[in-house]
């Protein structure tokens, strides 16, 4: 009995953790690689989720429709980065805190626009596999968790391969490492950063669609995820893409265990405790280089 | 501005004091005048709405000033001022429920709790990088709310009705008394902020804000200063929350940790100007009064939207706020 509970808690935790990793993946690029503390990223994800519900109501599959939406988000991300860099990148590093305030304001504005457009009620998607489960021995995995969770390893692998083997991907990692050196070698760091921020925004469209399949969300769902997303990125180690998946699963499993053997109402505190513990004891994270 | 300068000119000529001592004297007299005005007004105005609205506005002056000690002087943005405010509210609620504590006890206890929380947050996050502190404060609100939700003694998620001790007879009623208390707290906060600004601590904080490495090299104990600023700011935010229990008699996590409160406490110093004590006061008076007046006519969503857009505009175009704009204009006219 207790073993069954444990097995189910762990499998749910792994699935949840994959979804957390998908949420945090864009942040791993914008914060981890570009050092832009984009606290508006979870709100981008929620925007992606709302976009998915709109198209789902017309009869499209949320995950499939999120692929063309990702292109739209890529463009929006580039435009937003252009606005941000006009203001801040030129003022230099000392204004990181001001930039944070800008993102804070932007996330509030997006949230409020969502509330005014869609109301404060929860919205959900309608897909065939919701309500069914995959049973493997004692472990029961609902498809509404399993299918979006599978998105995370796919996204992580794709992004990791892109950063590792393509010209633009290598340039993105180079910009994270040394911007001056990149411009000396004849590549425009501005373009590379725009491109990377666009990719980060594009992931929000896909992970938003994944999030809204898991359960209904409201416009303020992003707020709960800010701490979790940053906890994943920092626990992974800044900019480590495969680490994001491991850190997400670690947090997801811990939350599920706390929920199963303690009380579910304590689950929101898990990510925050792990975030603080990482900052206090191992700021470089699990897979990151020392900073 | 010119009124103050004229008064200073006059005071310097009459007394022959140094400008700095004169400025402090003028400031102290101003504080006393505000307090006296508050006492007189509570006697003369009959409409109780004025006291309830006034309490909210003055509470924002206190919150904005407390936030600015860390956010403005040291440049470390605290995105979770309501975490500290809420801890103050619930500390006071606990004391009222457990022993019917009088207001001064609740305020002192809230201050200690806020300072400890600020110290703990600072110690854990400030050694790495400023960004992490800011991120951790966002999550702190979620954490604090989760903890309160799980304490049945304090009402959990559904809130708690309390019977706080009544106001003394000379005050002329609870709303009047609470307004005076909040006014006293706000004035004390502004005085403390001004003192920090002109003391060695303020110089140290400005130095580390400009460049942490340079300040460290020049012998400024940056980590200690940041920790002190965290503790002081945390204590101030928590103290601003303590009287709320006596003001409202009913508390719930939703209001004690409300987003609007956080947003305003951050937006007010940034809009007013965060380099000196004047900025948060101007920002709070302006924004809170407009909101109190507008809350009758526009929805709370629109309210937040407007504040958000104004915040973005100021951060993008006028990082030194209204005070910065005024300074720029007067300097141009002078030159």
Tens digit of pLDDT for each residue in B215-252?
A: 889 888 989 999 999 999 999 999 999 999 988 888 99
pLDDT band at B1 (very low <50, low <70, confident <90, very high): very low
pLDDT of B6 higher than 80? no
Inform me whether the pLDDT recorded for A152 exceeds 50.
Answer: yes
Q: Which residues of B95-115 are buried (b: 16+ CB within 10 A; e: fewer)?
A: bbbeeebebeebbbbbbebbb
Highest mean pLDDT among A120-129, A171-180, A250-259: A250-259
- pLDDT more than 70, % of chain A: 96
Whether residue A227 and residue B309 make contact (CB cut-off 8 A), yes or no, is: no
The burial class, CB within 10 Å (0-12 / 13-18 / 19+), for B36 is: exposed
Three-state secondary structure readout of B209-238: HHCHHHHHHCCCCHHHHHHHHHHHHHHHHH
Nearest to B89 by CA among B244, B237, B236: B244
CA dist B272 and B239 (Å) reads 22
Q: How far apart are CA A104 and CA A86, in angstroms?
A: 18
What percentage of chain B exceeds 90 in pLDDT? 33
User: Is residue B147 less than 8 Å (CB to CB) from chain A?
Assistant: yes
Structure tokens at A245: 């998946």
Tell me, yes or no, if B293 comes closer than 8 A to chain A by beta carbon: no
- Residue from the list A100, A230, A279 with its beta carbon closest to the beta carbon of B128: A279
Residue A198's pLDDT is 95
Examine the pLDDT at A290 and tell me if it is beyond 70.
no
B70, B192 in Cβ contact below 8 A?
A: no
Distance CA B211, CA B222 (A): 10
Tokens of A155: 């996204």
Q: What is the mean pLDDT of chain B?
A: 86
Domain boundaries of chain A, sorted by first residue: 2-281
DSSP code of residue A123: B
User: Is B298 in the A-facing interface, judged by CB distances under 8 Å?
Assistant: no
Taking the C-alpha atoms of residue A204 and residue A223, their distance in angstroms, rounded to an integer, is 15
Structural contact between residues A26 and A230, judged by C-beta atoms closer than 8 angstroms? no
Q: Burial level of A278, CB count in 10 A (0-12/13-18/19+)? A: buried
Chain-chain contact of B77 with A100 (C-beta, under 8 angstroms): yes
Per the model's pLDDT, the better-predicted residue between A152 and B20 turns out to be: A152
Write down the ipTM of this complex.
Answer: 0.79
* Residues of chain B neighbouring A259 (CB-CB closer than 8 A): none
B124: nearest CB among A106, A271, A279: A279
| Interatomic CA distance for residues B152 and A205, integer angstroms | 39
Q: pLDDT band for position B110 (50/70/90)?
A: very high
**Spatial separation of the C-alpha atoms in residues A135 and A73, rounded to whole Å:** 36
d(CA B14, CA B166) in angstroms, rounded, equals 46
* Interface contact A230-B139, CB threshold 8 A: yes
Query: In a 10 Å sphere around its CB, with 0-12 CB exposed, 13-18 middle and 19+ buried, how is residue A123 labelled?
Result: buried
> Which residues of A are less than 8 Å from B270 in CB distance?
101
Query: So what's the pLDDT on residue B258?
Result: 84
Measured between CB atoms, which of B125, B131, B143 is closest to A269?
B143
Distance CA A99, CA B44 (A): 46
- Give yes or no for residue A91 having a pLDDT over 70: no
Confidence of residue A175 (pLDDT cuts 50, 70, 90): confident
Does B140 lie at the interface with A, CB-CB under 8 angstroms? Answer: yes
Q: Is A227's Cβ below 8 Å from some Cβ in B?
A: yes
Q: Is A142 exposed, middle or buried (0-12, 13-18, 19+ CB in 10 A)?
A: middle
pLDDT digits (tens, 9 = 90+) for A19-78: 999 999 999 999 888 888 888 999 999 999 999 999 988 888 888 899 999 999 999 999
Torsion sign across C-alpha atoms A116, A120, A121, A124: positive
**So what's the pLDDT on residue B3?**
58
Query: Tokens 């400008």 label which residue?
Result: B19
Residue A265 C-alpha, separation from nearest chain B C-alpha, in angstroms:
7
Q: Cβ contact (<8 Å) for A112 and B305?
A: yes
Q: Does the CB of A108 have a partner CB in chain B at under 8 Å?
A: yes
Give residue-wise pLDDT tens across range B272-289.
988 889 999 999 998 888
Render pLDDT for A226-248 as a digit per residue (tens, 0 to 9): 888 989 998 998 888 999 999 99
pLDDT-based confidence at residue A260 (cuts at 50, 70, 90): confident
Q: Give me the pLDDT at residue A90, please.
A: 61
Q: Tell me, what's the pLDDT at B84?
A: 96
Do A96 and B131 make contact, defined as CB atoms within 8 angstroms?
yes
């Amino acid at each position: 009995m207790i073993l069954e509970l444990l097995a189910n808690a762990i499998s749910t935790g792994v699935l949840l953790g994959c979804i957390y990793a998908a949420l945090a993946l864009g942040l791993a690029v914008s914060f981890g690689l570009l050092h832009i503390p984009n606290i508006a990223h979870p709100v981008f994800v929620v925007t992606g989720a709302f976009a998915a519900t709109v198209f789902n109501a017309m009869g499209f599959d949320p995950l499939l429709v999120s692929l063309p939406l990702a292109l739209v988000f890529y463009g929006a991300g580039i435009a937003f980065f252009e606005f941000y860099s006009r203001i801040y990148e030129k003022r230099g590093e000392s204004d990181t805190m001001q930039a944070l305030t800008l993102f804070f304001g932007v996330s509030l504005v997006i949230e409020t626009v969502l509330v005014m457009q869609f109301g404060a009620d929860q919205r959900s998607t309608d897909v065939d596999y919701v309500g069914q489960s995959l049973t493997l021995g004692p472990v029961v995995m609902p498809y509404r968790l399993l299918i979006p969770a599978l998105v995370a390893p796919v996204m992580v692998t794709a992004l990791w391969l892109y950063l590792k083997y393509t010209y633009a991907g290598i340039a993105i990692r180079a910009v994270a490492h040394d911007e001056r050196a990149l411009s000396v070698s004849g590549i425009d760091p501005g373009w590379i950063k725009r491109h990377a921020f666009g990719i980060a925004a594009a992931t929000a469209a896909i992970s938003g669609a994944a999030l809204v399949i898991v359960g209904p969300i409201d416009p303020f769902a992003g707020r709960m995820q800010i701490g979790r997303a940053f906890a994943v990125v920092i626990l992974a180690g800044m900019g480590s893409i495969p680490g994001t998946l491991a850190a997400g699963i670690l947090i997801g499993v811990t939350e599920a265990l706390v929920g199963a053997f303690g009380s579910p109402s304590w689950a929101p505190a898990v990510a925050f405790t792990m975030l603080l513990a990482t900052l206090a004891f191992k700021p470089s994270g699990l897979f990151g280089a020392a900073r | 501005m010119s009124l103050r300068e004229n008064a200073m000119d006059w005071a310097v000529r009459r007394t022959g004091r140094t400008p700095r001592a004169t400025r402090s004297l003028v400031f102290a007299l101003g504080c006393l005048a505000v307090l006296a005005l508050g006492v007189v007004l509570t006697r003369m105005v009959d409409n109780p709405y004025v006291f309830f609205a006034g309490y909210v506005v003055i509470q924002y002056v206190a919150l904005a000033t407390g936030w600015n000690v860390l956010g403005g002087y040291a440049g470390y943005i605290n995105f979770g001022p309501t975490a500290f405010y809420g801890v103050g509210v619930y500390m006071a609620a606990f004391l009222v429920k457990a022993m019917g504590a009088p207001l001064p006890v609740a305020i002192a206890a809230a201050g200690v709790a806020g300072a400890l929380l600020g110290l703990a947050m600072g110690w854990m996050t400030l050694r790495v990088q400023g960004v992490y502190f800011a991120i951790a404060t966002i999550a702190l609100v979620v954490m604090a709310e989760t903890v309160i939700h799980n304490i049945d003694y304090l009402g959990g998620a559904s809130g708690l009705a309390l019977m706080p001790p009544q106001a003394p007879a000379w005050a002329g009623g609870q709303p009047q008394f609470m307004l005076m208390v909040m006014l006293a707290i706000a004035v004390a906060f502004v005085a403390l902020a001004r003192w920090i600004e002109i003391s060695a601590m303020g110089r140290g904080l400005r130095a580390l804000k400009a460049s942490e490495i340079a300040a460290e090299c020049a012998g400024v104990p940056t980590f200690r200063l940041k920790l002190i600023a965290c503790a002081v700011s945390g204590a101030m935010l928590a103290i601003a929350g303590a009287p709320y229990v006596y003001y409202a008699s009913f508390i719930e996590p939703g209001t004690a940790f409300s987003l609007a409160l956080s947003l305003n406490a951050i937006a007010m110093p940034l809009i007013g100007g965060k380099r000196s004590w004047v900025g948060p006061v101007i920002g709070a008076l302006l924004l809170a009064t407009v909101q109190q007046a507008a809350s009758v006519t526009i929805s709370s969503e629109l309210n937040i939207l407007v504040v958000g857009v104004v915040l973005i505009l100021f951060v993008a175009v006028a990082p030194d706020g209204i005070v910065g704009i005024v300074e720029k204009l007067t300097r141009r006219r002078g030159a």
